[in-house]
Amino acid sequence: MRIAYLDCFAGISGDMFLGALLDAGVDPAILHQATAALNLNASIKIEKVDRSGISATKASVFDGADLAEQTHSHTHQHPHTHQHQASHDHPHTHPHEHTHGRSLTVIRNLINAATLAPEVKQTAIHTFELLGASEAKIHNVPIEKIHFHEVGAVDAIVDIVAASAGIHAIENQARIETGNSVKWFCSPLNVGGGMVDCAHGRFPVPAPATADLLRGLPIYSAHIEKELVTPTGAALIRALAPTFGPQPAMRVQQIGYGAGTRNPKELPNVLRLSIGESDDAATSLNTNTDTVTILETAIDDLSPQILAYVTERALALGALDVMSTAVQMKKGRLGTLLTILADDAQVPILEDLLLRETSTLGLRIHHERRSCLDRAHTTVVTPYGEIRIKFGSHNGEVFNAAPEFEDCRTAAAKHNVPLKLVQQAAIAAYRR
């Protein structure tokens, strides 16, 4: 199994992520092509720099002939997001006027119009949607009313889109070489310390949008009184949805260091990316073990119709599974325990769904380790047509196989036969 491990001992920002991808071996042409596809007259300059004695790759975005991070013009009167670059050292004074604010719709259309692979577009748009959801919650306005300023400027758009292209380049290479996708892991995030100025006043690090994006993730503050995790960096981590913890047992093949702009004496301002293969001897029993987030709440005063609606909405919003269990609550009342399994990236929107749509006053959110079989599908031919079979395997051995219910139901209705006959026919065909 191919593993990519992000060591965020100095935080993470968009330019640090780009630099780490390049330093770990991603073809620069992939990032240049993704940037050109946006038709923003932007480009990426790549150079080797020294950060506290560490050789690292610095990726700088240019807007025409100018360094993009220096072309921000600052004043605004409407809900917005702020990019406090961990790698940047320019002050943020407010109010200021932004001529480059872009709504989520504008950014989504910009990315969709680009000649990018569908999976790159999906990751980039999802990253901006995560940013927008956090800002909408902070400002208490609909997400489409949010105008991105620093994170909607040329450098942030290029950072996110080019990073998405780099992520999928690593995953495509793994599929070609090993037939498997990449499993992403990440260290706890060093958010830095001190205070940061934004439109809502002077806040402690992390800033409001960053703090919301980091909810439920392992973070700490150490070594330096500077903002180390930016909203862009936090959103990219959310979109990746890695497993957090120490570096897993792996045989490292490539190591990349991505540099931020600052070069403090007390801490190398770099993001380290290690790529390699899992150590089969150490991980053979845990190849398919990961971490899942669980949201749950017990409710005794809500209509069953609304509970059913919430279940459907949760699945539509990306929940891995939704379960409801009958429970007895205080004063002998019968209630329902609603449990949602999700990746970290989906937690904010599912949390908002439960708080808005149910009568609960609070949720329990925690992480659990889970062990999963490798899942795949095959199609069999039966007297009632083609039926998909889903099966779970481990180390090449199939443990479970079952026909897809919806396929069987459709075939049973079409041929006017009992559903169980279609299921039996599908299993028989699979065993043959």
Q: Which domains does the chain have, with CATH numbers?
A: 2-283 (no CATH), 289-371 (3.30.70.1380), 374-431 (3.10.20.300)
Which residues contact residue 123 at a Cβ distance below 8 angstroms, ignoring those fewer than 6 apart? Answer: 164, 167, 168, 239
Measured CA distances, 191 to 84, 207, 213, 225, 228 (Å): 12, 10, 12, 10, 5
274 neighbors 252 (Cβ within 8 angstroms): yes
Nearest-angstrom CA–CA distance, 341 and 367:
10
Instruction: Tally the residues of the chain.
Output: 432
Check whether the bond before 206 is cis (ω within 30° of 0). yes
pTM flag (> 0.95): no
CB atoms under 10 Å from CB of 388, counted, come to 14
CB atoms under 10 Å from CB of 425, counted, come to 21
Which residues contact residue 166 at a Cβ distance below 8 angstroms, ignoring those fewer than 6 apart? Answer: 17, 18, 21, 22, 26, 30, 31
Q: What is the pLDDT along the chain (432 residues), one digit of tens a residue?
A: 889 999 999 999 999 999 999 999 999 999 999 999 999 999 999 999 999 989 999 999 998 888 877 554 333 334 444 444 444 444 343 333 344 467 888 999 999 999 999 999 999 999 998 888 888 887 777 777 776 655 557 888 999 999 999 999 999 998 888 777 789 999 999 999 988 776 667 888 888 889 999 998 999 998 888 899 999 999 999 999 999 988 988 999 999 999 998 888 888 999 999 999 987 544 444 446 667 899 999 999 999 999 999 999 999 888 999 999 999 998 888 999 999 999 887 889 999 999 999 999 999 998 887 788 887 888 899 999 999 999 888 777 888 899 999 999 999 999 999 999 999 999 999 988
58 neighbors 18 (Cβ within 8 angstroms): no
